[in-house]
């Protein structure tokens, strides 16, 4: 019974070169177990839905309230933190109302600014935006934002961005928040963020976007994927973007007031890009060309008409 | 940006590193658990538990030990379940089992004979089954399997060979002897 299985063992351990393997497969030693070994050649592993598992994991890990039976130990850690979080929310509520923030930074139309936050986190402000926060960050790292900003958050305690339209909470990551009027958009470049909008929580991972328009997250693919927001490279990129959002973007960068004439189709959408270094005239010409419109300029006011 | 390389100085407490660890190891730990239990749902649950334990203790676990840590937790859970299953079995023996036992799933049942393989694998002692499937399905080398299971390379070698012999007997295909 005790036979020499050195070769078989080597074969099973993937030690053979392809040539050695071929020779071995012709041997008697192999033919003895050939059928069994080959039975397992095309066997697949049991399906595992990694993405879903990660989402489930996050629910337990990042949202302490939704206890789901089995995994008890975590709560010990999270209960005090959730209490802290709700206190934090309360405090932030008062701050928002009393406007008692020590530091404020803002940009005018067409401006761009980089800001160092108290803990080495960084923020970049797009045009016509404003952030406010306390000079000393003790237990909470909180920022109030109006407009659009990109954040690179140093690791540490939770980091919260409040806007009039919703709240974004993170643990250490890169993300962009845009709030213009009722538009509220969050884009996650790295790590993970939690978006609270009208009582609904959404968790975003890299390349996920949340938009108040669709009320859900979407995965961004193709040429819209980037490492940081386009506006930081001083360009705006539109892909099937509604015309009123394009106009809003232009008026913020060039500090003009753009009006669409009544008879223009308000449901137009635009795909294209422009650089903030381009002159307003160039940008308007390109825009008008592709949507067959004309524009008339009168000082700070631009009127768009049918072409 | 390199997406699946840990940032060197940071710990597993870092969101990014934690996510990388999940992407890297969850499926392999899942497979290991499936080979032990033959139960997909149970395996999924324990993967979740292992990662939550990792998160809870992230400060104590150096990056390079993350994988071993996940396996250790999983193994402890396996020991726990088998222990309680054994004691439960003692009491069950006298009672009539009315619920028909579902066929366990160790491998994906794509073809008809895979179901039969699953049944045979279920009869095999797990100390043969686990290293055998890690080797044949996951294509892991003896050394890696030895590390995961905490046994010597020699005994991994032996167990895999025993598994082959076991299968051969079970499937009644040892017609030819040379």
Does the pLDDT value for residue B114 go beyond 90?
no
Does the pLDDT value for residue A231 go beyond 50?
yes
Does the pLDDT value for residue A189 go beyond 80?
yes
Q: Is A264 helix (H, G, I), strand (E, B) or coil?
A: coil
Here the tokens at position A199 are 């009582």
Section A197-210 average pLDDT = 86
What residues of A are in contact with residue B1 (Cβ under 8 Å)? Answer: 190, 227
Return the pLDDT at A63: 56
Condensed to tens digits (0 to 9), the pLDDT of residues A38-49 reads 989 888 899 999
Return the pLDDT at A97: 45
Return the pLDDT at A88: 52
What residues of B are in contact with residue A152 (Cβ under 8 Å)? Answer: none
Interface check A28 vs B, CB under 8 A: yes
Of A8, A77, A172, the CB nearest to B56: A77
Here the tokens at position B103 are 């066929």
Return the pLDDT at A35: 86
Cβ neighbours of B1 (radius 10 Å): 8
Does the pLDDT value for residue A64 go beyond 70?
no
Instruction: Give B56→chain A minimum CA distance, Å.
Output: 7
Report the percentage of chain A scoring pLDDT > 90: 16
Query: What's the CA gap between A171 and B169, in Å, rounded?
Result: 55
Return the pLDDT at A199: 83
Does the pLDDT value for residue B61 go beyond 70?
yes
* DSSP assignment of A16-72: S-HHHHHHHHTSHHHHHHHHHHHHTTT--PPP--HHHHHHHHHHHHH-TTS--TT--
Cβ neighbours of A204 (radius 10 Å): 24
Dihedral sign, Cα of residue A135, residue A139, residue A143, residue A149: positive
Return the pLDDT at A53: 92
Return the pLDDT at A222: 61
At B161, the pLDDT band (50, 70, 90 cuts) reads: very high
Return the pLDDT at A94: 46
Instruction: Give B72→chain A minimum CA distance, Å.
Output: 17
Mutate which: B15, B131, B145, vs A, most A CBs within 10 A: B15
Which has more confidence, A228 or A13? A13
Test B141 with A13 for CB contact under 8 angstroms: yes
Please provide the average confidence, as pLDDT, over all residues in chain B: 82
Instruction: Give A166→chain B minimum CA distance, Å.
Output: 23
Return the pLDDT at A75: 47
Does the pLDDT value for residue A1 go beyond 60?
no
Closest listed residue to residue B170, CA positions, set B126, B134, B125, B117: B117
Please provide the average confidence, as pLDDT, over all residues in chain A: 81
Residue in B with minimal Cα distance to A227: B1
Section B45-63 average pLDDT = 90
Does the pLDDT value for residue B63 go beyond 80?
yes
Return the pLDDT at A226: 75
At A291, the pLDDT band (50, 70, 90 cuts) reads: confident
What residues of A are in contact with residue B136 (Cβ under 8 Å)? Answer: 12, 37, 40, 43
What residues of B are in contact with residue A43 (Cβ under 8 Å)? Answer: 107-108, 114, 117, 136-137
Residue in A with minimal Cα distance to B177: A32
Does the pLDDT value for residue A98 go beyond 70?
no
What residues of B are in contact with residue A190 (Cβ under 8 Å)? Answer: 1, 16
Which has more confidence, A87 or B118? B118
Of B16, B45, B110, the CB nearest to A44: B110
Condensed to tens digits (0 to 9), the pLDDT of residues A140-162 reads 788 999 999 999 888 776 788 99
Question: Degrees (nearest 5) of the Cα angle B147, B149, B153?
Answer: 55
Of A5, A14, A43, the CB nearest to B107: A43
At B145, the pLDDT band (50, 70, 90 cuts) reads: very high
Return the pLDDT at A116: 87
Specify the pairing of strand A141-152 against strand A159-162. Answer: parallel
Which has more confidence, A103 or B138? B138
What residues of B are in contact with residue A39 (Cβ under 8 Å)? Answer: 113, 117, 167, 171
Section A171-182 average pLDDT = 85
What residues of B are in contact with residue A70 (Cβ under 8 Å)? Answer: 45, 49
Section A82-98 average pLDDT = 50
Size of interface A-B (CB pairs under 8 A): 119
Return the pLDDT at B14: 83
Residue in A with minimal Cα distance to B48: A57
At B89, the pLDDT band (50, 70, 90 cuts) reads: low
Section A164-184 average pLDDT = 86
Of A8, A43, A57, the CB nearest to B114: A43
ipTM score assigned to the predicted complex? 0.83
Specify the pairing of strand A183-190 against strand A192-197. Answer: unpaired
Here the tokens at position A264 are 């223009």
What residues of A are in contact with residue B16 (Cβ under 8 Å)? Answer: 172-173, 190-191
Return the pLDDT at B24: 93
At A15, the pLDDT band (50, 70, 90 cuts) reads: very high
Print the SS3 string covering B118-150.
Answer: HHHHHHCCHHHHHHHHHHHCCCCCHHHHHHHHC
Test B52 with A74 for CB contact under 8 angstroms: yes
Does the pLDDT value for residue B141 go beyond 80?
yes
Closest listed residue to residue B64, CA positions, set B15, B28, B17, B23: B17
Section B160-165 average pLDDT = 94
Condensed to tens digits (0 to 9), the pLDDT of residues A236-289 reads 988 888 888 899 999 988 888 898 888 888 888 888 889 888 889 989 998 888
Mutate which: A4, A7, A43, vs B, most B CBs within 10 A: A43
Instruction: Give B49→chain A minimum CA distance, Å.
Output: 6
Which residues lie below 8 Å from residue A4, measured CB to CB, with a gap of 6+?
A: none
Cβ neighbours of A135 (radius 10 Å): 8
């Amino acid at each position: 019974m005790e036979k020499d299985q050195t070769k078989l063992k080597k074969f099973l351990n993937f030690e053979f070169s392809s040539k050695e393997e071929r020779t071995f497969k012709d041997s008697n030693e192999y033919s003895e177990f050939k059928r069994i070994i080959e039975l397992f050649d095309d066997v697949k592993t049991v399906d595992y839905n990694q993405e879903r598992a990660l989402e489930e994991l996050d629910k337990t890990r990042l949202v302490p309230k939704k206890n789901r039976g089995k995994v008890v130990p975590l709560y010990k850690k999270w209960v005090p933190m959730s209490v802290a979080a709700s206190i934090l929310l309360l405090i932030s509520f008062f701050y928002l109302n009393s406007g008692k923030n020590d530091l404020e930074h803002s940009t005018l139309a067409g401006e761009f600014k980089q800001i160092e936050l108290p803990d080495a986190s960084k923020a970049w402000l797009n045009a016509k935006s404003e952030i406010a926060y306390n000079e000393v960050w003790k237990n909470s790292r909180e920022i109030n934002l109006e407009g659009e900003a990109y954040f690179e958050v140093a690791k540490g305690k939770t980091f919260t961005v409040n806007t009039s339209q919703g709240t974004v909470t993170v643990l250490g990551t890169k993300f962009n928040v845009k709030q213009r009027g009722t538009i509220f958009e969050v884009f996650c470049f790295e790590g993970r963020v939690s978006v609270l909008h009208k009582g609904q929580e959404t968790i975003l991972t890299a390349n996920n976007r949340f938009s108040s328009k669709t009320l859900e997250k979407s995965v961004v693919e193709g040429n819209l994927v980037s490492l940081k927001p386009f506006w930081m490279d001083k360009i705006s990129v539109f892909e099937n973007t509604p015309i009123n959002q394009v106009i809003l973007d232009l008026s913020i960068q060039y500090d003009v007031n753009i009006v669409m004439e009544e008879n223009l189709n308000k449901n137009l959408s635009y795909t294209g890009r422009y650089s903030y270094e381009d002159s307003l005239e160039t940008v308007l010409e390109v825009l008008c060309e592709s949507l067959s419109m004309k524009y008339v300029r009168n000082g700070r006011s631009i009127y768009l008409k049918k072409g | 940006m390199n997406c699946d390389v840990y940032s060197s100085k940071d710990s597993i407490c870092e969101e990014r590193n934690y996510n990388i660890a999940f992407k890297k190891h969850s499926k392999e730990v899942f497979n290991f658990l499936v080979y032990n239990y033959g139960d997909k749902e149970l395996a999924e649950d324990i993967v979740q538990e292992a990662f939550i334990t990792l998160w809870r203790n992230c400060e104590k676990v150096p990056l390079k030990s993350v994988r071993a840590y996940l396996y250790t937790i999983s193994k402890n859970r396996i020991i726990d379940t088998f222990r309680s299953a054994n004691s439960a079995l003692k009491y069950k023996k006298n009672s009539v089992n009315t619920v028909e036992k579902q066929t366990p799933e160790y491998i994906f049942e794509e073809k008809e004979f895979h179901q039969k393989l699953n049944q045979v694998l279920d009869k095999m002692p797990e100390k043969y089954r686990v290293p055998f499937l890690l080797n044949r399905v996951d294509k892991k080398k003896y050394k890696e399997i030895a590390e995961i299971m905490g046994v010597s390379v020699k005994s991994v070698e032996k167990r895999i060979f025993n598994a082959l012999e076991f299968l051969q007997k079970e499937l009644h295909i040892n017609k030819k002897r040379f």
